[in-house]
């Protein structure tokens, strides 16, 4: 079985900053000592997902998800513990190796390595004799050698198994080959996924190749573009093409241009317009929007100038508005794309159009010629717009859009508000709830359970003096719930700083880790902590005595039913009651 040395696990865990990690997936905002955002593990509109940088753990107060950096990656990427360590090691430059014999289990390093091998092979093909036709095509499209070299553009030759034959020499496991997405397995065998295509490597934010997009060289090919399937490395809804190269330009410009295709990106980047990114064969999603928001809140959409591109840019604009991003749409000439436009007219015309970009709503009204629509069609159009506006949570953005819609179309704003309210009420008549069952400390509602939880929260807190006060007054026997007893056993000996992720990782079951995380993340009111400690300890001391009294009374009834003398048991009850009385004084 694959194993990672404990010291290497510690190195990875120490390097993995929980806020830095989670913020790659969740838009976090600081509130007090912690960071909050929308939970990535269940649908919610009000942020209940919290990250505690001081404790290096996270917890969702909505669905109960929680744990350390390892838990987050395991949950989000749906991978195992060792794969999570390898994934994090890759991110933070730590070489996580198991052993040469167990190389096949090094899934992530092998997948990255395999993609790099594929990229290098494709790139060599393009600049070889076999790539003359493809290279000539790219040159005619206006792409210079330096841009093709920088982005490692390549060629998958018209063969069924060139890549497969190449990588088989490196003895990758079948699991690695299958999970790479670079091959297709059928009843007839395993074959290269990409054939006779110009290849565009897709890099993650850190510059590691994780997937490919392939453009057909054969005009008769029914699939003009073919992209890698989703894998553990690559999710279309999360990734942009070119972000690894343009991220610094985006920060400097404080805005980003989004285009639809790989060639659009390359043409703009080559022309000096380098604050640009492209979608990877999918429509823009909220995940994309959240990733953009980490860099900038000003977006320019430069989609194709045909009807499909216009509709897609409008949909993207409303998605960005929902996430609090300011989207403007560039009017690309009719039936052209940014690639052709910049190649034909140069960057100046594009930059002029950038300066005259239109707000999403204004662009929507103009392109659909809503001013001249008949009354019924105009009403339908307004209803469509209101459905988009109604899904925006920010009241200020929503009000501004309603005001512009009313003024531009000459409609009474009150009528728009009434129509919006009617649409909202209809949409909530039969709501579909998708809230996962919560597992957590709310299940522990009895007084005795709450007392144990409160003491553990104090023991896990930041105040060393208060922690010591509890430690001096309690015994491990006070804890009756198995998970709470185990947690207390781990925390009581810790006199100084607590390694919270390490404590969480001592629990094997996912639900146990969720519950432990919730306890460790819970806020604690220390204004009257001495009284709280005394009350909890009294509850825990009293509990076994009360349970003892119940047990003895049951025994008394049993003795009486058998006609036997219950005198000794009665005396025992009296003694227990006296103990109870003394504790309560």
3-state helix/strand/coil string of 462-517: CCHHHHHHHHHHCCHHHCCCHHHHHHHHHHCCCCCCCCHHHHHCCCCCHHHHHHHH
| Alpha helix ranges (H) inside 92-131 | 107-126
CATH topology identical between 6-104 and 110-234: no
Q: What is the pLDDT of residues 485-509, one digit of tens each?
A: 889 889 888 877 788 888 888 887 7
Average pLDDT score over residue span 101-120? 78
Which of 45, 179, 61, 41 is closest to 109 using CA atoms?
179
Sign of CA dihedral 472, 477, 481, 486: positive
Angle between helices 529-562 and 447-459 (to 10 degrees): 150
- In terms of C-beta density within 10 A (0-12 exposed, 13-18 middle, 19 or more buried), how is residue 562 classed? exposed
For 479-517, b where at least 16 C-beta lie within 10 A, e where not — what string?
beeebbbebbebbbeeeeebbbbebbbebeeeebbbbbb
Which of 79, 84, 83 is closest to 68 using CA atoms?
84
- In terms of C-beta density within 10 A (0-12 exposed, 13-18 middle, 19 or more buried), how is residue 346 classed? exposed
Q: In what order do the strands lie in the sheet with 57-60?
A: 29-31, 34-37, 49-52, 57-60, 66-67
Q: Phi then psi for 113, rounded to 5 degrees?
A: -65, -40
Average pLDDT score over residue span 318-334? 92
Select the CATH number that applies to the domain covering 110-234 from these four: 3.60.110.10, 3.90.1150.10, 1.20.1070.10, 3.90.980.10: 3.90.980.10
Token readout for 512 is: 């146990």
The pLDDT > 90 percentage for the chain reads 36
pLDDT for 98 = 61
Can you give the residue ranges of every domain in the chain? 6-104, 110-234, 368-425, 440-585
Cα 291 from Cα 250, distance rounded (Å): 13
Q: In what order do the strands lie in the sheet with 276-279?
A: 240-241, 276-279, 256-259, 298-301, 326-329, 358-359
4-18, 277-291, 436-450: range with highest mean pLDDT: 277-291
Fold classification of 440-585 is DNAb Helicase; Chain A (1.10.860)
Cα 439 from Cα 511, distance rounded (Å): 7
- 3-state class of 299 per DSSP? strand
Token readout for 195 is: 């054939």
CB 302 within 8 A of CB 31: no
CB 182 within 8 A of CB 153: no
H/E element, 519 = helix 510-521
The pLDDT > 70 percentage for the chain reads 92
H/E element, 358 = strand 358-359
Angle between helices 482-491 and 510-521 (to 10 degrees): 60
Give the pLDDT band of residue 522 (cuts 50, 70, 90): confident
Q: What angle do CA 513, 517, 520 make, to 5 degrees?
A: 140
Average pLDDT, rounded, for the chain? 85
Q: What is the pLDDT of residues 354-408, one digit of tens each?
A: 999 999 999 999 999 998 888 889 888 998 999 898 888 888 898 999 999 999 9
Q: Please, which contacts does 218-224 make with residues 24 or more away whose CB atoms are closer than 8 Å?
A: 221/196
CB 277 within 8 A of CB 316: no
- In terms of C-beta density within 10 A (0-12 exposed, 13-18 middle, 19 or more buried), how is residue 255 classed? middle
201 pairs with which residues across the strands?
212
pLDDT for 56 = 85
Give the pLDDT band of residue 420 (cuts 50, 70, 90): confident
Q: What is the pLDDT of residues 207-262, one digit of tens each?
A: 889 999 999 998 888 788 899 988 878 878 778 999 989 988 887 898 999 999 99
CB 241 within 8 A of CB 200: yes
Please indicate, yes or no, whether the overall pTM of this predicted structure exceeds 0.75. no
Query: In angstroms, how far is CA 208 from the centroid of its own chain?
Result: 19
Q: What is the pLDDT of residues 61-72, one digit of tens each?
A: 888 889 999 999
- 3-state class of 416 per DSSP? helix
CB 361 within 8 A of CB 385: yes
Cα 400 from Cα 408, distance rounded (Å): 12
C-alpha distances in angstroms, 326 versus 93, 292, 395? 35, 11, 15
CB 273 within 8 A of CB 351: yes
pLDDT for 584 = 65
- 6-104: CATH class: alpha beta
C-alpha distances in angstroms, 379 versus 371, 374, 391? 11, 9, 19
pLDDT for 436 = 40
Q: What angle do CA 145, 146, 150 make, to 5 degrees?
A: 120
Q: What angle do CA 100, 103, 106 make, to 5 degrees?
A: 135
């Amino acid at each position: 079985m694959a194993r990672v040395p404990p010291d290497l696990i510690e190195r990875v865990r120490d390097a993995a900053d929980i806020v830095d990690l989670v913020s790659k997936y969740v838009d976090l905002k600081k509130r007090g000592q912690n960071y909050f955002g929308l939970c990535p593990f269940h649908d919610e509109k009000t942020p209940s997902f919290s990250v505690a940088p001081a404790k290096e753990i996270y917890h969702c107060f909505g669905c109960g998800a929680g744990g350390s950096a390892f838990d987050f990656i395991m949950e989000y990427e749906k991978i195992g513990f060792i794969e999570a360590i390898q994934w994090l090691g890759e991110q933070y430059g730590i070489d996580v190796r198991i052993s040469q014999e167990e190389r096949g289990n090094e899934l992530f390093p092998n997948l990255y390595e395999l993609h790099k091998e594929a990229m290098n092979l494709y790139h060599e093909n393009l600049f070889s004799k076999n790539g003359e036709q493809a290279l000539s095509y790219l040159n005619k499209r206006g792409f210079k050698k330096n841009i093709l070299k920088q982005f490692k553009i390549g060629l998958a030759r018209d063969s069924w198994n060139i890549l497969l034959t190449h990588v088989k020499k490196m003895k990758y496991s079948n699991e690695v080959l299958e999970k790479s997405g670079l091959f297709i397995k059928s009843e007839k065998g395993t074959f290269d996924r990409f054939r006779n295509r110009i290849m565009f490597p897709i890099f993650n934010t850190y510059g590691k190749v994780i997937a490919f997009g392939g453009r057909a060289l054969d005009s008769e090919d029914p699939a003009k573009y073919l992209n890698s399937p989703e894998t553990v490395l690559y999710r279309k809804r999360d990734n942009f093409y070119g972000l690894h190269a343009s991220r610094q330009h985006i920060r400097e410009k404080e805005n980003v241009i989004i285009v639809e295709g790989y060639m659009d990106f390359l043409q703009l980047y080559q022309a000096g317009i380098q604050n640009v990114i492209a979608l990877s064969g999918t429509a823009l999603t909220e995940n994309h929007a959240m990733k953009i928001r980490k860099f900038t809140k000003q977006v320019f959409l430069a989609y194709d100038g045909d009807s499909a591109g216009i509709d897609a840019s409008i949909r993207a604009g409303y998605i960005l508005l929902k996430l609090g991003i300011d989207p403007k749409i560039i009017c690309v000439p009719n039936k052209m794309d940014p690639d052709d436009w910049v190649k034909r007219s140069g960057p100046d015309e594009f930059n002029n159009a950038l300066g005259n970009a239109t707000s999403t709503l204004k662009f929507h009204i103009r392109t659909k010629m809503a001013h001249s629509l008949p009354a019924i069609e105009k009403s339908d159009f307004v209803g469509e717009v209101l459905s988009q506006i109604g899904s925006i949570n920010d009241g200020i953005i929503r009000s501004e859009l309603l005001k512009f819609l009313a003024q531009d179309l000459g409609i009474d704003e009150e009528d728009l508000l009434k129509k919006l309210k009617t649409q909202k009420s209809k949409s909530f008549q039969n709501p579909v709830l998708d809230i996962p069952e919560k597992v957590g400390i709310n299940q522990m509602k009895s007084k005795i359970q709450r007392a144990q939880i409160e003491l553990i929260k104090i023991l896990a807190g930041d105040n060393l003096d208060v922690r010591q006060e509890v430690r001096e007054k309690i015994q491990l026997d006070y804890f009756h719930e198995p998970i709470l007893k185990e947690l207390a056993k781990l925390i009581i000996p810790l006199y100084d700083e607590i390694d919270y992720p390490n404590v969480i990782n001592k629990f094997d079951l996912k639900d146990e880790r969720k519950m432990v995380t919730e306890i460790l993340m819970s806020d604690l009111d220390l204004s009257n902590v001495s009284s709280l400690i005394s009350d909890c300890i009294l509850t825990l001391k009293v509990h076994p005595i009360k349970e003892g009294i119940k047990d003895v009374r049951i025994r008394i009834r049993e003795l009486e039913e058998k006609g036997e003398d219950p005198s000794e048991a009665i005396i025992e009850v009296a003694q227990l009651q006296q103990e109870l009385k003394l504790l309560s004084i």
